[in-house]
Every structure is written in structure tokens, then in C-alpha cells.
Structure 1
């Protein structure tokens, strides 16, 4: 499915922001507390979450500790950590780091103890009191967890105390471990002159895990009846304590079965909220969005986590994704350990508790028409080079794309048709777009419903017979393709039983020269 868009959103932010706690031995001071989450139907749902507490300051000054030899330019500019958030702050560390996480329990009195477990790591817990799965923090006290980030990859963390309730209430988050020494073939300037927001140049210590952009998707469901019942018991406890400070509250006992979730979340938000900017003041406790952007030919690292208790079939459009790892473990060939052997998928099973890393590309290869919209009145048809009258020639590399490996080379972020599949260059599209001189189309119509030229020759026509008025310019250079990425479970693309909503977002393919602004 391709949905045509004739606008470019405002600020587009990196979808893998988080916090760090210093180099080598990062320290994170998290607080578990109560708040609310905003839903598209106007509901404000009582929620618990991890955050940075009353100080509201992230433990660490920058967004990520970059591996040796890699220095992204603007990571520090989007570092933030609310008092509490849904999901919890993404903890970003580097392979080999000795990580310390101290958790303070500021949940309501009736909630009792709380904790964090870190699947995939060998954890030592100190302070606190003994619990079923790990040591726990009683209300008003702390517990400390230490572990070595032994291997790169995407991991989860969540409460290990009364998990059927506390995880449902929002006590979960992600850990990203960056490779200490990315492979030499993974380029540190893969985006040319455009700002580089990657956390690293590769996902793993493996030459086939290079990427250009990355996005983290944490999938979770929520049964608001559980949250309402929890709030009622919290309020009852608070009234009892206010009337008699010596009163002892009965621990929260909420029915969690039968389970009927009515909100379905990507990074703590439902559609359309998940397509708003990161750290939007409209969602003070839900800072992360789900709005991936990509240029043709770039490689996207998809970090995906199933945080809930049910399976969510996240379906992607535009191309398959190559799974490179599950639960932080690379999928290698049993015959040749130097080769990745993960499957190509177009639907992520999103198994509860499992993390998946996958690589995705969009090139427009094989569509048999020019996705860049180069064809205009008088242009030759078919692959062309300099001297043919084509303002944007396509020189195929060994794989047939116009890239830095072509001769002459193209430059990402500079060459307007970088990454183009040259065999389809200048082939006419199979439809007739509207006449751009018709007022109903508006000044934002770029002459093509597709990526389109960044500059349109004055008086020429692109795909159409009606010339533009003299001096007519492309008013919408950021127009691109929008592919719907969504759950394939129909109930999960609703918000409280109203369609559309839930686990749904758009993956945008921007023109190569259009800036993808991921700052905040």
C-alpha cells in the first residue's frame, strides 16, 4: 500500500533517544512513581512509570556515549528525562560498560514494593528487601542493580514485582547496548552533509550490521479497567491514611484476568499521537513517538520490543526487513559464521518479552516507473547519462543503484536522486496526475504525487502536457511516500474500540535532498 502525501511534517525527531550515565561505568538514578497517560479519545489514564524523579534531570549530560571513532553531531541536543514516563527512559550504554541502576520507590503506599529486572544480563542486586525474582525497594527507599553490558543489542527492562499488575501499569522500558568497536566498513559519515543522529554506525560487532538511521518501537497493550480499579484502591488507601496516619493499607488486589485491553501503544502512544513530535508538551509523560523517516537507499535499523502480555503482529509496508538478531543474539549461518542468516519478514510476530533487531531499505527497485519523477516534457525515455538533456542522470553502481560507488559517484544528502534504481530512470509513471495549474491543487502541489524533482524548470511540464506558468517552482520539495505500518490484528488498530487508532503509524520516504530533522 502506498499513500501519497503532499506535505512535510514539522520537526522530525530521532526515534531512539534515551539517557546515559557517563562513560565506562554509567550510573542511572531512576524513580518509580505515578502519573497519567494521554489517549487520543481524550482519556487520561492513571499510570505508573519509571523516570528521573522530582529533579527532572537526566543522569548524564548527553543522549548517547558514542563508540570510539564515531561522533554524531547533535545527540546531546535531545537528551531529556521526565519525572515519570511511559515507557521508561531508554538506557543507552556501550558494550563492556559496568552499569549501575538505582531505583527509588515513590509509588503510592498501596502499591507496596517495586523492582526492576533486566533480561539478558547477569545482575547483582544490593540494598532493598528480598523479592520473588530480585531484591525490591520498599516505598520511600531504594535498591541498586549492577550488571556488565556484555553484548550489543536491544534489550528490555521491567518490574519484577507483581508483574501482572506493575508492568500493565507502565513499569517497563528499553536498554540499548552499542558495539564498543563498530566494524571498519560501517561508515561514520553515511548521510553525507546531513546531520547524523545514529547512536552508532552498526548494530553489532559485525560488518553486515551497518545502518544509516534507527528507530525503537516498544509495543504494549493496556486494559483501562485495571488502571481504574487500581486508582480507586490507591485513593481509598490515601483517604484511610489521611484520616489515621497509623492506618495500614491493604495491598492492591486488582483482577487482571479476564484481560481485555482497549488501548494499544507504540512507545506509549496510540495513533495519531504517535506521529506527533518527540517530547511534545501535549504528552508530558509520553515523550517517545513512532514516526520513522527514511531516504531511498538508506538502511534503517528497526529495534522492536514486545513489552506486553499478548502478541502483536506489527506489519510493515514498502519492503521486507531482514532480521539480524533476537534478544541481543545475532542470527548467524550455521555453515559460515561470518554471514547473517535471519529471515526476511514483513510482519514482526512481536512475541511477549522478545526483542528483535532488523534492517530495512526502500529503493523503489523494479516498480518499472521513475519514483523520483524525473520524466518531463521533452525528456528522453530510458536510462540516461550526461549530455542527454536529463538534469539528474543516473549512473548505476555494480548493483544497479546510483550511489557513492557509482562512476561518477553520487553523494548522499546532496545528489537529488541518490539511491535511485537506474533501470527505471525516466520511465513514465502509469497514471496521469492532476494539472498543477488548477487552483484546487494549491501551491503546495509539486507537479508529481511522488518524490519529484527538487527544482522544476520554468515553463516545463512534468508528466503532464500543460506547462507551468513562468517561474513556477516546486512548492513542496519534501513531498514523499507514506507507507502504513500497523498491527495486523484488527482490534489493535482501534482506540477504545474506535477505528482508526491504536498500533498504527506512517513510515515516510523523503526525497534524498530533503532534510530529515531529528533535533529537539
Structure 2
């Protein structure tokens, strides 16, 4: 297939189903790994959890602006391939069946390291397992292949990949992750996360999880294969000469690793690699080395403790389900070897940092009541899990003036968690929650480049965010862009002027001002979605309330993702009526039904 036809096919498939696919695969935001649970076991399908995968060709984008021919597994037979393949999520004890189809001009297959008793049936005989036959050149068809059936007996993190000419086909992209959740896994415990475990054993509980599937690529190999396929020649590559120059986490290079899952401009690379957590939470890091090289994966901010390797708990008595992992020690780098998976627990509280991460200013008064571990115990407080030994300790340095500082794109303008400050003109202002960013990257420094361009490659960030940020909700505290069908009650990021925000952010109170005077309040709204939001013209109604157009920037504006705009409203107190006045601010976005913000004044 030539490149024009490939892109035309890609567009048609994306338009037909990518949005629906993203919705069907959605999981609680920033809590569980984005994955695919397949067809649920029922009496009709013999109590078997079934997946259908198809090997396809397509292109992926890299952070240097390149586009590279790649093979990958796709959901079913109607969707584009993805790199890496769909993350398959099953439960311990499930009988799992994976049906493989093929559209490539070479035979393909799947093997499942770590799974026992895999039964392959159908297709053709291969060296390691049954294979789906090659599609002859000139035929545009999907050929059915084998099915693979096994019982997921052991929880853990695993990979799956092609068992046919593995040295080439894994390089080309035929690889993915398999997660087996322990029996009784707490899917429905919401934001409490009290019963969520990676394994049956104690000490494996966690609050949030992220997958880090590590791969590398030699672009020369991919374009050699592309040329051979376009010329309808046999696919022959000397894989002993592979020299990678691109490195990936979950199929993306930095900085694309920090974009949301399922962004529309990366249709074949749906998975992000941006962990977000609160202080004191336990983050489960599922690290999979699906490449051919050693990738020492280094995490800043704190050590992590390995709890399992290759889906087996690191315990001196692994058969004893009441014994926590004890063959472990904290480390700052995962020595991830080819084919290996590692499960680690990462925590961050600011313990021992030597100063109060929430600051000592009177504008942020907070208390610290230590629990048995010395961490603040009041879950409703914004400084929950603060290290109390450092409570109200001042920052031990004098912060230089703005002209003497260099601001990274993730700087918030404040050294304190959850707070923002003044930033220089032109700064992108990406850190909207005042979070602490910690880098995660390969410690083989050449691997943090994309084809020799830095920064890139196998690198991402981890964000520690204050407890006031709801990481279990898919929407933020303001206007949500990106084509969401319904807008929740409009919230206000900030407001200036006399008065206060009341009633959960849905009412703007101008307070009691002298008769015959007026007061202007400015609302700052932020688009917290991942696509532009097109706003309508604000409409202000109610006696005494007026929309101030010449000092507002939201009217008929296109607000980019994470950007802000302002709305100015003037209230004039009547000299002959001291009663409370009420009004309404209405604003629509993306042609949605206008959302109302209540106004009051006296």
C-alpha cells in the first residue's frame, strides 16, 4: 500500500471509530492504566474473556517531526494499528482467548511470556507458535489466523509480542502489555483506593498506577521494510546491524509522552506516560522493557521499591499470600533488562526536605497533626500527608528576583506546592496546578534524544499535585474544551475586585457597595481540555449588571487548551433600592447550550 492510500485509510478509520473507541476504553482518570478488558465472559461465550487483534501497517509520529512506517496490533478488524499494541487487562482466574488476524505481507503470531499452558489453534504452524498467514501482495484483505487460549493464573505485569521472526517484528512494533489483576481487585473503590493491590500479598497496595513500556527503533530498518513492501519484494533485513536512534515510552518520545491519552493528532500512539499523584499516595510503576537493549529507567524525587519481577512477587516465601515482599530495597533506577517487567511502588511526601512545602505565609494557614508515621492525618485538608516535622519551617534561601532566574516551561512561579506566582512575559504557564514536576528518564543519556535531537526520547515527567486537585475526575475546575457534549456548572479560576465566590463557585457576589457607586469584577476562565474551546458572546442580564466588552477577552474567542480568557462585569448599586439584586452571566462554548453563572449584589 502506498503512503497516500495508507493515510486515506487511516483518516477513514479514525473518523468512523476513534472517538467511540476512546470512550469504550476509558478508565478512571489518572488512577488505573488505560487498557482494554475485551469481551466480558458470559454464558454465551463460554465464560471466556475474548480479544480480537489484527496486525496492520501504518505510520507513527516522532517528536522531531518525523513520520515512520511501523507495524502494530489493532483492536478488532476495523481500527488502525497502534504502537504499542492495546494494553490487555484481565483478572486472575480468567480464561483468556486472543484471536489474531493479519493484513501484513508476512506471517505473524503472538507469544505470551509468563503465561503457562497457552493453547494455540488454527492458522499455520510456526517456529514458536501457530501463525496467521501472510497476505499476498496485491490483495486487500484481512486473513483470519490462530487463536491463543490460556488461564491467567498469576497476577502481574507482562508483555506479549510476535513469535514470528521476533528480531524484526518486535522492532517493527508488534508488541504490547498484558496486565493481570489479582482476584477480588477493587475496581469500584472510587477515590478511596483502600483495597487496590497489584498482587494478593500485603505491601502491594497502591493508589494509582502507570505503565511504562520501553522500546527503541532504528528508522533505517523501518524504511528498508517500507521500501521492500512498496516494491512487493520479500521482507529481508539483517537485524544484527540494528542501531537504534529513537527511544519510546508507551510508543511516544518526549515531550509527546506528556500529552493526554487518545489525543486525536496521534491516532496510532494512544497511550501517554505522565503519572500524576498526590503527596503520600502510592504510585505503582509497571515497567516493561519490550526492546533489545538495557534501559536503566531513572526516577527523580525519591527512591522506588520493587515489589515484583516478571509477574512474581519478590518474597522469600512467594506462596505465602500473607507475606509482603521482603527481597527488596529502595533504589533510584530500575535496571530494566530486555524482556523483563518490574513492578515498583513510588511515594513522595516531601519528607526531610527541610522546609514546609506549603509555605509559611499568613495567606496559607494550615495545621499539621501527625499520624504514627509523622504525616498529617486530616484527609480533608489541602496539606494532607504533609511531613509534620518540617511544618512551618521557612524556605532556607532568599529567592532571587525574576530577572535573575531562568524559568522552565513547568515552573509555577512559586516554590510551594499548589501555589503559583508571577511568571515572565511569554512564559507558556503549563503548570496550572502549582505541582512539583519530577523527571523520569533513561539513565543511558543518549536515549533522551530523538534521532540526536534533545530533549526527546525515553523521557517524561511525574507531577506531584496538591490534594485540592481532583485526580479522579476527568474534568478540571473550569471550562472543558475538546468537544465534551455537556459542560458542568461554570467554575471560576480566579476573580479580582470586591466580593467573593460563593455556592461552590456558581455564584459571584459583588457584596454591599454604597448606593450610586459601581464595582467591576473580572473573571478568569481556563480551558482545561486538550483541544481549543470556541466561546460565544457572554450575555449578562439583571437590573444593575452590565457586561464590560472592551475589557473582556472571552467574547467569540477561541481559547486554546490550558489557555485563559477574561470576562468583566460591572454592578451599579441603586440609590433608591437597597434590596439584593440578582442577575445571570450566560456563556456557551463549542455551540453548546449556554451555562449560567448567578450574580448577586446589594
- The verdict on a shared fold, with TM-score over 0.5 as the criterion, is yes
> Which aligned pairs between 1:152-301 and structure 2 lie closer than 5 A?
152-182=155-185, 189=189, 191-192=191-192, 201-237=196-232, 250-301=233-284
Compute the TM-score of the two structures, normalised by the length of structure 2.
0.65
SS at match of 1:515: coil
Aligned equivalent of 1:134:
129
Aligned equivalent of 2:154:
151
> Which aligned pairs between 1:386-425 and structure 2 lie closer than 5 A?
391-403=365-377, 410-411=378-379, 414-425=380-391
Mapped partners of 2:414, 2:301: distance in 1: 19
Give how far 1:52 is off: 1.4
Regions of 4+ moved over 4 Å = 11-15, 186-190, 334-337, 444-447
- Which structure is larger by alpha-carbon Rg, 1 or 2? 2
Name the structure, 1 or 2, with higher relative contact order (CA <8 Å, separation 6+). Answer: 1
Give how far 1:292 is off: 0.8
Mapped partners of 1:496, 1:328: distance in 2: 33
1:431 aligns with 2:428: no
> Which aligned pairs between 1:470-509 and structure 2 lie closer than 5 A?
478-509=433-464
Seen in structure 2, the aligned counterparts of structure 1 residues 415 and 477 have a Cα distance that, compared at 3 Å, is: farther
SS at match of 1:225: helix
Seen in structure 2, the aligned counterparts of structure 1 residues 188 and 402 have a Cα distance that, compared at 3 Å, is: farther
Verify the 8 A CA contact 1:15 1:290 in the aligned structure 2: no
Give how far 1:274 is off: 0.8
SS at match of 1:313: strand
1:321 aligns with 2:338: no
Compute the TM-score of the two structures, normalised by the length of structure 1.
0.75
Aligned equivalent of 1:362:
348
Aligned equivalent of 1:116:
110
Aligned equivalent of 1:376:
361
1:19 aligns with 2:6: no
Seen in structure 2, the aligned counterparts of structure 1 residues 151 and 504 have a Cα distance that, compared at 3 Å, is: same
Verify the 8 A CA contact 1:333 1:339 in the aligned structure 2: no
Mapped partners of 1:255, 1:54: distance in 2: 31
Seen in structure 2, the aligned counterparts of structure 1 residues 218 and 85 have a Cα distance that, compared at 3 Å, is: same
Seen in structure 2, the aligned counterparts of structure 1 residues 12 and 148 have a Cα distance that, compared at 3 Å, is: closer
1:100 aligns with 2:94: no
Mapped partners of 1:187, 1:217: distance in 2: 21
Unaligned ranges ≥5, structure 2: 1-27, 42-46, 135-142, 423-429, 476-602
When the two chains are superposed, the root-mean-square deviation of aligned CA atoms in Å is: 2.9
Number of residue pairs matched by the alignment:
419
| 1:66-121 CA distance string (max 9 Å, x none) | xxxxxxxxxxxxxxxxx2100000000000000000000111x2xx2100000111
Aligned equivalent of 1:40:
63
Unaligned ranges ≥5, structure 1: 1-10, 57-82, 238-249, 380-389, 404-409, 455-461, 465-474
Give how far 1:282 is off: 1.4
| 1:178-198 CA distance string (max 9 Å, x none) | 11125xxx8975735xxx7x9
1:346 aligns with 2:332: yes
